[in-house]
Structure 1
C-alpha cells in the first residue's frame, strides 16, 4: 500500500507543482491556453506555498489543491474557494483527489470559513462527481460561458456549508 501525505506546500515544491500543472493541462478543466515556454513560476504574489495543499505518495509530490478567497470584499471573507486542483496522471484512481478535497474543506474550517465554493466546467464529469460525493451542490450555472475546442461549455458553480 502506498503512503499518502497531505501537507502545506513548501517553496521547494514549485518545480514539481509546475510540472504537474503543465502535464495535466486539458480543456476538460482549463480555460487558459496550453502552457508555453518560458513557463511562468507556479507560485506568484497572489498564490504562494501557503495557499496550496500538496499530496505526496511515497515522498513524491503528485497533486495539489489551491485554496483562497473568492473576492477581496470583506463581506465575503467567510468564504473560501478552490481555485486550482490537479493530480498527476500516475496517481489517479488512488484517492489522491478525494483526500485533497477533504483537506481543503478541513483547512477552510480551520481558517474560520463558513462556506467553501468552486467553479468547474460542465463537461468535467469526473470532477463534478467527486465534488458532489464530498457534499458540494450546484448553486448556479453560467450556460455557454466558455468556448473550448469548438464547443460552448457551461461554468458550474458549486459550494457547501462548513
Structure 2
C-alpha cells in the first residue's frame, strides 16, 4: 500500500479541495450545510492555503487537514485547533487520516503550539477512535448540541498536549 505524501496546501489546490469537501460531505462529520453548486471558494480570509496540509496518493489529492488558532487572544496562541479533516472515500483505510493527524501535530509544534484540540461529533465513532489512538482524550461533551437528520448528536471536545 502506498504511503501518503503530505505537503502544504497552495492556492492552486482550491478547486480540488472544494470538490473534495462537496464529495465527502456527510452529517456523520459536519454540522455545516452541504456545500452547494455553483462553486463556493474553499479558501477565505479565515482559512488560507497555509492553514492546510494536503495528502496525496500517487500524485492525486485525497485529503486535507485544517489547522487554526483556537482564538485570536494573545494568551491563547499556544493552542492549535484542528478545524477539519477530510479524506476521500476511495482513500479511506489507506492511512491517510493518520498521516494527516501526525503531520498536523508536527506543524502545530513547529508553530509554537503546546496543545492541540478538536471537536468531533459523538456518533462519529471511527474518528473518535482514530483521535484517541493518536493521543487525544475527551476533555468535554456538549450533550445533544446538534440536531442532525432528526437525531440529537453530542459535540465531543478532544485535546492533547504536544
Q: TM-score, normalised by structure 1?
A: 0.98
Task: Say how many residue pairs are matched.
Answer: 162
Query: Which whole-Å CA distance do the structure 1 matches of 2:77 and 2:31 have between them?
Result: 26
How much does 1:34 deviate?
A: 1.2
Q: SS of 2:146's equivalent?
A: strand
Report whether the alignment pairs 1:2 with 2:11: no
What is aligned with 2:144?
144
Moved over 4 A (4+): none
State the alpha-carbon separation in 2 of the partners of residues 37 and 7 from structure 1.
28
C-alpha distance in structure 1 between counterparts of 2:20 and 2:37, whole Å: 15
Q: Output one character per residue of 1:48-91: Cα deviation in whole Å (capped at 9) or x when no partner.
A: 11000000101111000000011111111000000011000111
Contact 2:4/2:99 (8 A) holds in 1: no
Asked if structure 1 preserves the Cα contact closer than 8 Å seen for 2:64 and 2:87, the reply is yes
Question: CA RMSD of the aligned region, Å?
Answer: 0.8
2:105 is paired with a residue whose SS is helix
Given the two structures, how large is their TM-score scaled by the length of structure 2? 0.98
Unmatched segments (≥5 aa) in structure 1:
none
Is the 2:15–2:42 contact (alpha carbons within 8 Å) kept by the matching residues of 1? Answer: yes
The DSSP-based 3-state class of the residue aligned with 1:18 is: helix
The 3-state SS of whatever aligns with 2:117 is strand
Query: What is the rounded CA distance, in whole Å, between the counterparts of 1:117 and 1:57 in structure 2?
Result: 27
The answer on whether the counterparts of 2:135 and 2:160 sit within 8 Å (CA) in structure 1 is yes
